[in-house]
Structure formats: C-alpha cells, structure tokens
Amino acid sequence: MRTQVAIIGAGPAGLLLGQLLHKQGIDNIILERQTADYVLGRIRAGVIEQVTMDLLDQAGVGARMHADGLIHDGVQICVDGTRHRLSLKDLTGKTVMVYGQTEITKDLMDGRATVGAPTIYSANDVSLHDMFGDRPRVTYSSKGEPREIVCDFIAGCDGFHGVSRQSVPTEAITAYERVYPLGWLGILSDTPPVSDELMYVRHPRGFALCSMRSPTRSRYYIQCSLADDVAAWPDQRFWDALKPRLDEQAQAALVTGPSIEKSIAPLRSFVAEPMRFGRLFLAGDAAHIVPPTGAKGLNLAASDVQYLSHALVEHYVEKSDAGLDRYSERALKRIWKAERFSWWMTMTLHRISDNAFDHQLQLAELDYLFRSKSAAAAFAENYVGLPY
C-alpha cells in the first residue's frame, strides 16, 4: 500500500491527526495493534482545554462534545478541610470542559468511519523502516499475512510503550524522567458528584480528587502506594478512605455506590527529545508523560497534533518544510511548561513525605495561591492551557 502519512496508534492523538489531515486532502492510514473495542474500553482523562475543543471542532467531530460536555468556569481546592474556589473565567476569560477521553475517541472513530478513511486494527508485529531515508516504510501483519505501507512520513502516536520511540537509535534520543513514589487509586461510579466543579484535595491523609463524567456519574481518586493491589481495595474501603479527606459540605453530599471501574495509575513525568527523527515524528504519550494532577496528558497530545498537522499541510500545500523543521522545538516548549505545572501541582497537593518542613511549604504555597491575584492568575492561565 502507498499513502502520504502512516500513523501508528489509534488513540486520540492518532485519530485526531488523521482526521485533520483528511480534511486537508492528505491521505493517511492508521495502524493500531489493539482491537477497536479494546481502544474504546480504556478509561482515561476527562478535562479538556479550549484549544483542544477548537481542534475537535476543526476535525468535524465536536457536536456531541458540545451537547454532552460540562463547561467548568472554575476549579476548587480543599486544603485540610477548607475549600477554596479559583474562577478560571474571571482570571483568564477562559473555561475548561469535562468530557471523557473515551467519548472523544468514539467521536473520532465515528468521524473517521463517516469519511471512509482507513484504520487497520489488530495490526501485529509493526516495524518502522528507513525513517532517515526518502521512502520510509511500515511493515506489519494482519490476519497472519505480512503487509507493507510505503509513505512520505510516519507519525508515532502509539503511546509510551509503543514501537515508534523504541525504533529510534538510542544515541539519537535523550530521555528525562521523574517517577513519583505514589499512585492514584481511581473509581468510576454511577453516583452524583459532590460538587459541580472539579475539587482537588490536599489532606494529611493524602491527596484526593473529586471529578465527574456527567451529572450522574462520578470519578474519584485517592493517593495510594505503588505497592497497593486493586484487589485489596473493595468499594467500601475506598469510600471510607475518601470521606475523611473531604470538607464537611462534601462529606454530606457524598453518595456512595458500586464501582463501574477501578484501577491504580502510577505517577510519572517523562520527556523524550527531540521529537523528530528523519521522517518519523513522535506525538502524544510516545514523546511525553505528565502526572494527571494538572489534566495535561490528552491536551498535550492535542497540541502536538496541532503543530504536526499544520506542518504537514504546509509541506503538501505550500511546499515548505519550515513547520516540519520547527515541529520538535515548538512542541517541546509547550510540553516543558506543562511538565512544570503538572510537577508543581503534584508536589503541592500530595503527601510526598512525612517531613514537617515539606508539609509547611505546601501550606505556604497554597496560602499564597489563594491570597495573591497574580498567583491565582498564573495558576488559571496554566490550567486552562497556554496558547500555541
């Protein structure tokens, strides 16, 4: 087969890139090693920035998002039982939306099916070839038969464990990483949320987050040990651990119920530089990971796609490679700012150590955030998403 852009990975980054390129008449094929049902079954983030909403609109898949998504004008932070609110809209003029990544993936899948663009699921043994030459190739097997795609460019959108970054020569890439000594135990339940806005909780017992997917479906997280096993956390134990971390109003509003999904996610910061290797371009989790505290993972993937899709359109339509040549530099500047913000939120809101000095620094940092309009504005600017 022959195409202009071979996209590895059918998560939100790969699907969004494929849809934006198709809108501009650029042929692309997406390869995904998992089944479509498996991809849709992954439970992921749910907070999206305005610029991400705009990209989904450009891709022609924003209708259900606007109908079902929940606009949030502010965010709440509860510190040792006292709740504070930061108005994102007053501080920046912008908002965020709660709309699950699973729903975004479904919208993008449906959009791709509507235009008839090809996605090959259950693609096994994917291998990248000649990425530094003029005719890169991707080989894979489908239904036991060997296949090959010849293309102009390869977009590696296949996540942290995908083949794309692993195909890069070790000496050509530099990795930066911080692994945090904690995880998030999260549950999804068909219960009303305790607040109509996201609420972050800093508490001596450990971090918590009260989020939602709809007015009747809640997503809750508590800080846990990386050594914990999900099987050791029956639903009642989770609710018993969450409730004391909340303020009195939230405790009274908390409705418990059986979990639909339960999992433990480790927290990691990771960046790979550069993001271009000949005709291979990395995007999304293939190039970077952020702890979920700042709600930046999906949004960073979308910003990569914005830069890369514009650069590819510029190459094919304007016959200029300026955007491709600057892709890595431009994307990494935004990535490192999001990494800094996610690190700051993680270090400020979690119980990182038992050191009393660290405890007092956290309280001082949060007190400054709530008392200083400049600090609050800086927080809000980062939370709603920095400009491209």
Q: Which domains does the chain have, with CATH numbers?
A: 5-45+97-177+268-348 (3.50.50.60)
- Encoded tokens for 9: 């990975």
Identify whether 180 is a catalytic site residue.
no
pLDDT number for residue 42: 76
CA gyration radius, the chain: 21
Non-local CB neighbours of 198 within 8 Å, separated by 6+ positions: 47, 72, 75, 76, 98, 209, 210, 211, 212
Indicate which residue of 99, 221, 307, 383 is catalytic.
383
pLDDT of residue 167: 97
pLDDT at 43: 67
Strand partners, 261: 188
The neighbour count for residue 371, using CB atoms within 10 Å, is 10
pTM of the predicted structure, to 2 decimals: 0.94
**CA 362 from centroid of its chain's CA atoms:** 26
For residues 335 and 285, what is the distance between their CA atoms, to the nearest angstrom? Answer: 11
CA dihedral of residues 349, 353, 354, 358 (deg, nearest 10): -60
200, 221, 307, 327: which is the annotated catalytic residue?
Answer: 200
Catalytic one of 12, 22, 72, 220: 72
Q: For residue 54, with 0-12 CB atoms within 10 Å meaning exposed, 13-18 middle and 19 or more buried, which class applies?
A: middle
Residues of the chain with pLDDT under 50: none
pLDDT recorded at residue 387: 87
Phi and psi at residue 38, to the nearest 5°: -65, -45
* pLDDT per residue as tens digits for the range 286-317: 999 999 999 999 999 999 999 999 999 999 99
Q: Which of 296, 307, 315, 350 is catalytic?
A: 296
